[in-house]
C-alpha cells in the first residue's frame, strides 16, 4: 500500500451534492419521496443524477454521477451508484458504490450507508485501488441535497 493510502477509520473525502435530474419509470419521485404515495408493490426505480464538490484530506475536486435507485415496497432504498471524480489536478477516479437508504419517518431525510470502491490508473491516485471505503451520510429529498463522508475501512 502506498503512503497515500488511507488507514482504517481515516477520512478520505466528504461531499455535498445536488440532484441535477431524476428519471422516473412510472411512479412519481416527488409523491414517493414526500410520503404522499407509498412505493408500489413491485418497488419503484429512479435514476437520480447528481454533482458537486468533493473535499477532504485525500481527494478533492468535483464528482458527477447517477444512483440507479430502487425503492422497495417497504420504503428501504437500494443504492447502485456510478460516478466519476475529477480531481483538482484534472485526473479521474471512478466511483462504484452500493448500499442502503433508510427513510426517517415523517421527514424528508434519508440516512445513507454506502460500500464504496474507488478506481484510478493515474500514478498519483493508484493508491485508491488498494482501499475499501465505508461512507455515511444523508439525503434531504426536499432540498435535493446529498451529504456524505467516506472513510477508509
Domain ranges of the chain: 11-152
Give the global pTM.
Answer: 0.92
- CA 45 to each of CA 78, 80, 107: distance values in angstroms, whole numbers, following the listed order: 10, 11, 21
Write the secondary structure of the chain as one string of H (helix), E (strand) and C (coil). Answer: CCCCCCCCCCEEEEEEEEEEEEEECCCCHHHHHHCCCCCCCCCEEEEEEEEEEEECCCCCEEEEEEEEEEECCCCCEEEEEEEEEEECCCCEEEEEEEEEEEECCCCCEEEEEEEEEEECCCCCCHHHHHCCEEEEEEEECCCCEEEEEEEEC
User: What was the pLDDT predicted at 2?
Assistant: 45
User: What was the pLDDT predicted at 53?
Assistant: 98
User: What was the pLDDT predicted at 4?
Assistant: 64
Are 147 and 16 within 8 A, CB to CB? yes
Residue pLDDT tens, the chain, 153 long? 445 677 889 999 999 999 999 999 999 998 898 888 999 999 999 999 999 999 999 999 999 999 999 999 999 999 999 999 999 999 999 999 999 999 998 889 999 999 999 999 999 999 999 999 999 999 999 999 999 999 998
Task: Tell me yes or no: is domain 11-152 CATH 2.40.160.20.
Answer: yes
- CA 77 to each of CA 84, 87, 99: distance values in angstroms, whole numbers, following the listed order: 22, 29, 8
Amino acid at each position: 500500500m502506498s503512503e497515500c493510502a488511507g488507514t482504517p477509520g481515516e477520512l478520505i473525502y466528504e461531499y455535498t451534492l445536488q440532484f441535477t435530474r431524476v428519471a422516473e419509470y412510472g411512479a412519481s419521485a416527488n409523491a414517493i419521496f414526500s410520503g404522499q404515495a407509498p412505493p408500489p408493490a413491485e418497488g419503484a426505480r429512479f435514476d437520480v443524477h447528481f454533482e458537486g464538490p468533493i473535499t477532504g484530506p485525500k481527494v478533492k475536486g468535483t464528482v458527477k454521477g447517477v444512483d440507479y435507485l430502487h425503492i422497495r415496497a417497504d420504503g428501504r432504498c437500494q443504492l447502485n451508484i456510478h460516478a466519476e471524480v475529477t480531481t483538482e489536478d484534472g485526473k479521474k477516479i471512478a466511483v462504484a458504490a452500493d448500499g442502503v437508504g433508510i427513510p426517517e419517518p415523517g421527514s424528508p431525510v434519508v440516512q445513507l450507508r454506502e460500500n464504496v470502491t474507488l478506481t484510478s490508473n493515474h500514478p498519483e491516485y493508484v493508491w485508491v485501488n488498494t482501499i475499501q471505503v465505508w461512507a455515511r451520510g444523508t439525503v434531504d429529498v426536499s432540498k435535493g441535497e446529498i451529504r456524505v463522508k467516506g472513510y477508509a475501512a
